[in-house]
Structure 1
Amino acid sequence: MYRTQLIKQHQQRLLKIKSFSTTNRNLKFSEIPLAPPDKILGITEAYINDSNPKKINLGVGAYRDNSGKPIIFPSVKKAEEILLKKETEKEYTPIIGSKNFQSIVKNFIFNNSNKDSNGKQLIDDGRIVTSQTISGTGSLRVIADFLNRFYTNKKILVPKPTWANHVAVFNDAGLKPEFYNYYETSVNDLDFNNLKKSLESQPDGSIVLLHACCHNPTGMDLTNEQWDEVLQIIQDKKFFPLVDMAYQGFASGKPYQDIELIRKLTKLANENKIPTFALCQSFAKNMGLYGERTGSISIITPSKEESKAIESQLKKLIRPIYSSPPIHGSKIVEVIFDEQTGLLQEWLSDLDKVVGRLNDVRQKLYDNLDKSNYNWDHLLKQRGMFVYTGLKPEQVKKLRDDYSVYATDDGRFSISGINDNNVEYLANAINEVIQG
């Protein structure tokens, strides 16, 4: 009897194994293809494995000081010291972040800290819905998911070129990215006439992605007059503007000077000429809060009543993804903007120094480049953390193979990786590649 019982148990185990095997026939791990490495992270990995003492990493878009080291802003360090002393809990924040953080973002960006009556009017009228998100990428994904659910036209127009992850985020969210002309590589300059023509040719009601400042990867921004022309097209075509603002402050060193596009949009929203738009924003760069993943999304709505519904849908959307955002970075932002700490002006000074160093090294690179075979004037027109060199993929490869200089294949250099110790070596390597 005992032997019979053992046989039955063994047969039951075999049935379970057979059942598991049958139900998982569609899950064949051996057939899952190897995904290609992320282009920028792959560059960093190759850089790390390079033994050349003169190697230079120009791929990653994170700030480095003149010694090539990452930094923590002094104002951020002081904010963390204040937090250490006064913080009493690590409770979850609400789904869309704390009310204080939301208020800071609205006032800082849309009201320009009490300098923009149009932005203040939108805030007072309850027409801005702001949610804390997981930095800039998280805010882009949240708004893309939101638009996929509630916006009829799924086409989103993105500049060519644009940050590579834009297309990936929008595709994964169910939107349909399509490029509009932005930059002409043959002359290393903005292709403004074709930019306008390509937007005018698109269907009414499309979503259009705009870089607020320090266009990534080209560093070429529209002038105020050019923005007026583009915004007129957006009005005529009834586009929905989606603004990505990852580098506020990196154009001029002063955050309030880098948001002219936002000022124009808030004015048009008040006049109901462009009644709705969305803004994705991050403190990753301008506060150095990269790993803290601190950003926001703001949606400008037609009315206070519609804001309530939109806020409720943002909560419903975010809840099953990550439930609520991380708190440490947002608390740092709150401390810096707290008038009692006196850290706001110190942070603005820290940021201005960072941008000043980037501008200095941009000039030094330009000064050391050979102008006899190549026109490098476009480097001085570009703004922000990057230079879009115009180098061809094979030239970038030669820089990598022969000189251990690592950059993306499109010739985008993160100039924070350049400093007084390597700028001449880099310029000489570029000169050799251009001549070769």
Structure 2
Amino acid sequence: MYSTIEQAPSSSIILLHACAHNPTGVDPTQDQWKKLAHLMRQKRHFPFFDCAYQGFASGSLATDAWAINHFVEQGFELMIAQSYAKNFGLYGERAGCFHFVAAPSSSAQDEVARVGSQLAILQRSEISNPPAYGARIASLILNDEKLFAQWEEDLRTMSGRIKEMRKALKEHLVKLETPGSWEHITEQIGMFSFTGLDEKQVARLREESHVYMTKNGRISMAGLNTGNVEYFAKAVDGVVRGSQ
């Protein structure tokens, strides 16, 4: 990732996942984020953050927003596309928020006018009239102290459940002595995980066990629960052994 950003033409727009990277489940450490920010400053790159899973990675809104806040503190001009689809349970409403952070040295009034004019064009041409229901729910919760605290607690519960499913899946695979290393299951974070299964193994899982995932082996950890995690582990064990 570092070398790719280093080789990109200066002043490129770099799309970054704020946390819970989709599809890999692998996030940079804070030290790695600092290194990336330093490189992007040298290359005069423009950061565009995709923040779709805030609170779903660590259970903490502040921890999951650390990378964004670090870039802002470093004086970057940047954009953030923030989704409330997952962390508010508003998937069908597609509620979210767009943020533009101007550079400290810029004229705020001029920046607001320029960005506002472009957003007005984008809004009308791409979205026209977005659903208001989800936005009103998000606004109500974000602006009510008690509801906001309850939401934070719900995020901790949801992220904790996903972590427990990661732990349970790895334990079942280790218990079954499934060939290979499965440490990556618990080392990854967030909703998604790259299992390491190839396309042929994924096809066999679908045909033999009716387990469905993308061809590259990515799964949604949120789809696992205490009632199906053992079945899934045994199915994975079967296709891994069968392909040796």
The normalised TM-score by structure 2 is: 0.92
Residue 425 of structure 1 pairs with residue 226 of structure 2: no
Which amino acid in the other structure matches residue 38 of structure 2? Q
Aligned partner of 1:368 in structure 2 is 172
Aligned partner of 1:229 in structure 2 is 35
Which amino acid in the other structure matches residue 248 of structure 1? Q
Which amino acid in the other structure matches residue 268 of structure 1? Q
Aligned-residue offset at 1:372: 5.3
What SS is found at the alignment partner of 1:424?
helix
1:212-232 deviations in whole A, cap 9, x for unaligned? 000001100000100111111
Aligned partner of 1:326 in structure 2 is 131
Deviating more after overlay: 331-340 vs 243-252: 331-340
**Pick aligned residue for 2:206 from 391, 394, 400:** 400
Which amino acid in the other structure matches residue 258 of structure 1? D
Aligned-residue offset at 1:309: 1.8
Residue 259 of structure 1 pairs with residue 65 of structure 2: yes
Aligned-residue offset at 1:371: 4.2
Number of residue pairs the alignment of both structures matches: 236
1:254-311 deviations in whole A, cap 9, x for unaligned? 2121111111111012xxxx3x111111011111011111012111223312222211
Aligned partner of 1:293 in structure 2 is 94
Report percent identity of matched pairs. 40
Q: Is the 8 A contact 2:14 2:47 kept in 1?
A: yes
Aligned-residue offset at 1:414: 0.6
The normalised TM-score by structure 1 is: 0.53
CA RMSD of aligned residues (A): 1.3
Aligned partner of 2:117 in structure 1 is 312
**Bigger-Rg structure (1/2):** 1
Which amino acid in the other structure matches residue 141 of structure 2? I
Q: Is the 8 A contact 2:178 2:241 kept in 1?
A: no
Aligned partner of 2:79 in structure 1 is 278
Q: Is the 8 A contact 2:178 2:240 kept in 1?
A: no
Aligned partner of 2:241 in structure 1 is 435
For structure 2, the residue ranges without an aligned partner over 5 or more in a row are none
1:20-76 deviations in whole A, cap 9, x for unaligned? xxxxxxxxxxxxxxxxxxxxxxxxxxxxxxxxxxxxxxxxxxxxxxxxxxxxxxxxx
Aligned partner of 2:151 in structure 1 is 347
Distance 1:303 1:248 in 2: 30
Distance 1:247 1:203 in 2: 29
For structure 1, the residue ranges without an aligned partner over 5 or more in a row are 1-194
Distance 2:11 2:183 in 1: 38
Considering Cα pairs closer than 8 Å and 6+ residues apart, tell me whether 1 or 2 has the greater RCO.
1
Distance 2:156 2:36 in 1: 29
